[in-house]
Structures are given as C-alpha cells and as structure tokens.
C-alpha cells in the first residue's frame, strides 16, 4: 500500500502534511492536520519498497512497546492504524515541541531533565514486556564492533584491524560488560531529549516518550547515560547530578555502587560506539553533519574510562589507540565534507 492509499483508507486523504525533522535512520515523519484527529504518519515505505528487512519488525516492535508503556500509565503515542509490511503507521500526535527543541530555544534544562528522570524511573521499575532482544554483553560488543572496527578504525588508522585486534576488542568489551548482565530490565536505548516531549498530564505521564522500537533487555544505567551524557548536547554537571539523584530517589532499592559502576561501563560502550557511528553516517550515508558530535563523544568516553569498571576497554585502547588518535578521522573524505 502506498502512503497516499494508506492515508485515504483511514480518513486522511485531504490532511495537510508537514514534514518533521528526520532521524539518522530510514524513517520519515509527517504531521497531519485536517483529518479525523491530529496524527503523525511514520513512513518507512521507501525502505520497505527496497526490501529493508528491519522496517516491518521496527513497526511491530513499536506497536508492542507502545502498548506496554501505555499499560504502565506512561505517555506513549496510541497507534491509530498500521500496515507493517508497507512500513506505514498512523500515530497519536502528542504535540510539540520536543524537550530538545525546548532546550535549543533556551528553556531551563533542570525541570525538563528532572521530569525525564522521573518518567525513566517509572519505566524501569516495572517488569519488562516479554520478547525484548538482549541489549547486554554480546549484543553490545557486536554493536560497538560494527561501528568502531568496521568504520572508525579503517578511516582513522589507515588499515583494517587485524584478527588479533578484533578478538582483543571483543574480549575487552565482554569483560567490561559481564558484571552487569542478567539483572536488568527494559532499556529504551535512545532515551534523550529529541525523543521526549512535555504532555499535560500528571507525574511520570507528563513526559511523552517516542522512538522506542529498538528497546531491549539490559541494564537500566544505559538509559540514564543516554539522557544525561547525551551524544548530541552538553548537560551541565549540576543538572546531571540532580537528575541522577531524582532517579535514584525514585528507585531506593538500587545498589548505588553497582549502579555507578554500570553507568561507567554503559557509558564507555555507548560513547565509543556512537563516536564511530558518526563516521559511518558520514562515509556510508553521506551525512557528514553528524561528525560535529564526535568530539563530545570522545570526551565523554574519556570520562567514563577513568572508572575502574571500564579497565578492560581502557587497557585495549591504551595498547592500540593512543589518546591523540581518539577523535574523528582526519582523512581526505572527512576533510572534503568539512570544507
């Protein structure tokens, strides 16, 4: 089914369509007005048309997780209609702007981050839905290798990593992450201001949550890292501390020392993976503007590596990637994009 036919089938043939900012993936979003009710069109039809296998799975995951979040009393968009094989979905419009847009417009960050931390604590306190894919040691090690070894390393080091280097990297990630496996729950994986928005509801439901289709089962510290050590924006130390305290107060049963160690390990994996992801978006997808976030990710990685929990990864990097090389690649391709 085409997007036009899908919209017509659900009463939105004459709706006005306003594109929303895209993400780094294969979906696009349109805000619809003039139909039966305000709605958003999630459109992955272009990727579905070329057989990208993740599109239908993404939409089905979104539907399942949206139902889970709404069942907890949290503010996820209602799915109005969906055609997963075609990559199309109509969603409740929770409104605008996002937390990211508010922050970019000069809003006080403290209340936004405190509200987000409260919503995140409520999400993590509930049992996760069945069937979530693992987002723990092995999956996280593979994901980091897919960007760091396959894209950043050849671009920055001028050669492919050797088999021994690949094996050493995998072993370092697995050793760093192993202590934090098996005791987790729901992990959004991209819980940051661009995927949050204010909703006129009380308590944790006052934060709308979107873009959760990649959620997995893992350690909750990963989401707090996503929020407070954001790859795309700086978060003031006092805001980070206050939001962390709000989260911990809402979950008094957590072991604080274990959570702090897990935070460092999750941060190290995420920042290394995402710093290299920007390189993949540049080289493979022609999106060089993401490279501007590279220095922040490398700086945050350096902070994480100071914690003893990250010692296996720190040792690997100290042996193979000296601190001076921990940056965006300086190569002709990157230089041309920056010019």
Q: Which pLDDT belongs to residue 47? A: 66
C-alpha span between 173 and 311 (Å, rounded): 10
Digit-by-digit pLDDT tens for the chain (339 residues) are 899 999 999 999 999 999 987 655 667 889 999 999 999 999 988 765 555 567 888 899 999 999 999 999 999 999 999 999 999 999 999 998 999 999 999 999 999 999 999 999 999 999 999 999 999 999 999 999 999 999 999 999 999 999 999 999 999 999 999 999 987 899 999 999 999 999 999 999 999 999 998 999 999 999 999 999 999 999 999 999 999 999 999 999 999 999 999 999 999 999 999 999 999 999 999 999 999 999 999 999 999 999 999 999 999 999 999 999 999 998 645 444 443
DSSP 225-286: HHHHS-SSS---HHHHHHHHHHHHHH-TTS-HHHHHHHHHHHHHHHHHHHHHHHHHHHHTTS
State the angle between helix axes of 237-250 and 109-125 in degrees (0 to 180), rounded to the nearest 10: 30
Residue 288 DSSP class: G
Predicted confidence (pLDDT) per residue in 2-59, tens digit: 999 999 999 999 999 999 876 556 678 899 999 999 999 999 887 655 555 678 888 9
C-alpha span between 39 and 26 (Å, rounded): 20
Where do the domains of the chain lie, and which CATH numbers do they carry?
3-92 (3.30.200.20), 99-338 (3.90.1200.10)
State the angle between helix axes of 163-177 and 256-283 in degrees (0 to 180), rounded to the nearest 10: 150
Structure-token pair, residue 163: 């088999």
């Amino acid at each position: 089914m085409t997007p036009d036919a899908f919209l017509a089938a659900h009463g939105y043939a004459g709706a006005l369509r306003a594109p929303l900012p895209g993400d780094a993936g294969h979906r696009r979003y349109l805000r619809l007005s003039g139909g039966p009710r305000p709605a958003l069109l999630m459109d992955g039809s272009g990727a579905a048309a070329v057989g990208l296998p993740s599109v239908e799975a993404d939409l089905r995951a979104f539907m399942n997780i949206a139902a889970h979040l709404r069942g907890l009393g949290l503010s996820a968009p209602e799915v109005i209609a969906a055609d997963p094989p075609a990559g199309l979905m109509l969603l409740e419009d929770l409104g605008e702007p996002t937390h990211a847009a508010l922050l970019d417009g000069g809003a006080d960050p403290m209340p936004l981050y405190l509200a987000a931390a409260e919503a995140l604590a409520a999400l993590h306190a509930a049992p996760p839905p069945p069937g979530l894919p693992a987002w723990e040691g092995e999956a996280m090690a593979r994901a980091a290798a897919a960007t760091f070894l396959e894209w950043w390393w050849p671009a920055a080091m001028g050669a492919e990593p050797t088999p021994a280097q690949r094996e050493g990297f995998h072993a370092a990630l697995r050793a760093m992450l192993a202590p934090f496996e098996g005791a987790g729950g729901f992990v959004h994986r991209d819980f940051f201001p661009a995927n949050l928005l204010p909703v006129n509801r009380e308590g944790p439901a006052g934060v709308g949550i979107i873009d959760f289709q990649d959620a997995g089962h893992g350690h909750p510290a990963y989401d707090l890292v996503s929020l407070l050590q954001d790859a795309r924006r700086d978060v003031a130390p006092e805001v980070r501390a206050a939001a962390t305290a709000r989260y911990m107060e809402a979950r008094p049963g957590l072991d604080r020392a274990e959570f702090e160690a897990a935070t460092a390990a999750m941060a190290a994996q995420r920042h290394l993976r995402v710093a290299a992801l920007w390189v993949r978006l540049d080289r493979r997808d022609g999106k060089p503007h993401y490279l501007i976030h590279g220095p922040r990710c490398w700086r945050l990685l350096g902070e994480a590596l100071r914690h003893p929990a990250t010692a296996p990864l720190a040792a690997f990097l100290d042996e193979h990637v000296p601190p001076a090389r921990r940056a965006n690649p300086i190569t002709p391709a990157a230089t041309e994009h920056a010019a």
